[in-house]
């Protein structure tokens, strides 16, 4: 059974800092890994999708890496802003188009 773990569970940083969120998964037989953002009480917004054959993806201030063999991914956020405050979720897609999510990292960026 696939399990996804995210560390840390919560993170509070001052504005402007660079930060790294971590995600690990137990079964390397994945099709892709995705990072999502969820604002309180809202749905999910897709940030980055990394196919299993890829090593990283970048979008603006965000960079996600994938090491499938070790079952790890990181999300790097550069020059954090208060608007980045949200819960960040990591999810892996396995057979049957099933997404398995981590518990998330709650990020607070203080002005």
Partner 1 sequence: EAGVTQSPTHLIKTRGQQVTLRCSPISGHTSVYWYQQALGLGLQFLLWYDEGEERNRGNFPPRFSGRQFPNYSSELNVNALELEDSALYLCASSLEAGATSTDTQYFGPGTRLTVL
The contact set with partner 1 (CB under 8 A) reads 31-32, 34, 36, 41-46, 49, 51, 89, 91, 93, 95-104
Q: Closest approach of Cβ 6 to partner 1, in Å?
A: 10
Pick the closer one to partner 1 by CB: 65 or 87: 87
- The set of residues, in sequence order, having a beta carbon less than 8 Å from that of 60 and lying 6+ positions away, is none
Other residues' Cβ atoms within 10 Å of the Cβ of residue 26:
12
Pick the closer one to partner 1 by CB: 10 or 79: 10
Q: Closest approach of Cβ 22 to partner 1, in Å?
A: 16
3-24: burial string, b at 16+ Cβ within 10 Å, e else: ebebeeeebebeeeeebebebb
Pick the closer one to partner 1 by CB: 5 or 13: 5
Pick the closer one to partner 1 by CB: 46 or 110: 46
Q: Closest approach of Cβ 93 to partner 1, in Å?
A: 8
Q: Closest approach of Cβ 14 to partner 1, in Å?
A: 28
- The set of residues, in sequence order, having a beta carbon less than 8 Å from that of 75 and lying 6+ positions away, is 20, 21, 23, 35, 47, 48, 62, 63, 64, 88, 90
């Amino acid at each position: 059974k696939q399990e996804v773990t995210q560390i840390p569970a919560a993170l509070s940083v001052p504005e402007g800092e660079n930060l790294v969120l971590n995600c690990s998964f137990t079964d390397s037989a994945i099709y892709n890994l995705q990072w999502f953002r969820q604002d309180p009480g809202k749905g999910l917004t897709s940030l980055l999708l990394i196919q299993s054959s890829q090593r990283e993806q970048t979008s603006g201030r965000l960079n996600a890496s994938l090491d499938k063999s070790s079952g790890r991914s990181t999300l790097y956020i550069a020059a954090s802003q208060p608007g980045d405050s949200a819960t960040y979720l990591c999810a892996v897609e396995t057979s049957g188009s099933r997404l398995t999510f981590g518990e998330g990292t709650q990020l607070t960026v203080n002005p």
